[in-house]
Amino acid sequence: ILLDKRIDLDLNEVIASAVELVRTDMLAVAAAAGATKEGVSGDVTLTFRRPEGIDPVAGEVYDYVMERLRAVYLEGGTGVTTEMFDAVLAKRPASPLDFDARLKALVDFLSLPDAASLAAANKRIANILRKAADEVPPRVDPSLLQHTAERKLAAEVEGLREQVEAQIADRQYEAALRKLSTLRPHVDAFFDQVMVMADNAAVRANRLALLAALERLFLETADLSRLPG
């Protein structure tokens, strides 16, 4: 119904409110039975504490809703695969409508001739960053870019960043991914010509920062490293 009626509902807010109402009702029942909030009533101890950080109950409810949504896509003849769904789910969108927009953008992106190469590159980048022992700097240092291919990729990533971020903020995920698809030749050239794990620690860390910056732009929509290939 939310998708059919285009209702933009924040699931996290709704679930959090529902969980809080249930806890309140449980406290009321406990109080009526003679328990206090910290809950001693005879030989029975009842404790209802609000969890710190992410509420695990709310998280489980969100996951349940997402699994129901998964069935809608996978069994509805939409052409969506489990890997596509998981790539978007990795972002844990609060709104099913936002989830739908991201998923449709991903389906569109994967129809592009550059998509397979970029999906494989994202998987490679994720593996490199996960295994890297170096601390990855938050920003790329242009003075440490030594190779033409890495300078070109860095310039292209920075040149697209503001536009892509603006498109993401407006939920123009399809436009953002299509814009990012133009990076394919620069990404290919980088991996063909540049050794990421250079001997020089500063150069190596800077190249990791460049890959992290590239990965972040794609991750704004979905985690392409979860796709096959």
Rounded CA-CA distance 212/144 in Å is: 16
**22-70 pLDDT tens trace:** 767 666 777 777 655 454 444 444 454 555 556 777 788 888 888 989 9
DSSP symbol at 33: T
Quick one: pLDDT at residue 202? 97
Residue 44's DSSP bridge partners are 41
Res. 206: pLDDT tops 60: yes
Kindly report the pTM of this predicted structure: 0.80
Cβ-Cβ contacts under 8 Å for 13 (sequence gap 6 or more): 94
Going by DSSP bridges, is the β-strand pair 44-45/40-41 parallel, antiparallel, or unpaired?
Answer: antiparallel
Lowest-pLDDT range, 6-20, 164-178, 211-225?
A: 6-20
Please determine, for residue 138, whether its predicted confidence score (pLDDT) is greater than 70: yes
Give the domains, in start order, of the chain with CATH numbers. Answer: 11-110 (no CATH), 115-226 (1.10.730.10)
pLDDT of residue 5: 62
Mean pLDDT for the stretch of residues 118-147 = 95
What whole-number distance in Å separates Cα of residue 203 and Cα of residue 201? 6
Q: Band the pLDDT of 94: cuts 50, 70, 90.
A: confident
For residues 30 and 208, give the distance between their C-alpha atoms in angstroms, rounded to a whole number.
55
- What is the per-residue pLDDT across 153-205, written as a single tens digit (0 to 9) for each? 999 999 999 999 999 999 999 999 999 999 999 999 999 999 999 999 999 99
Residues 6+ apart with CB under 8 A from 185: none
Per the listing, tokens 């997402």 go with: 66
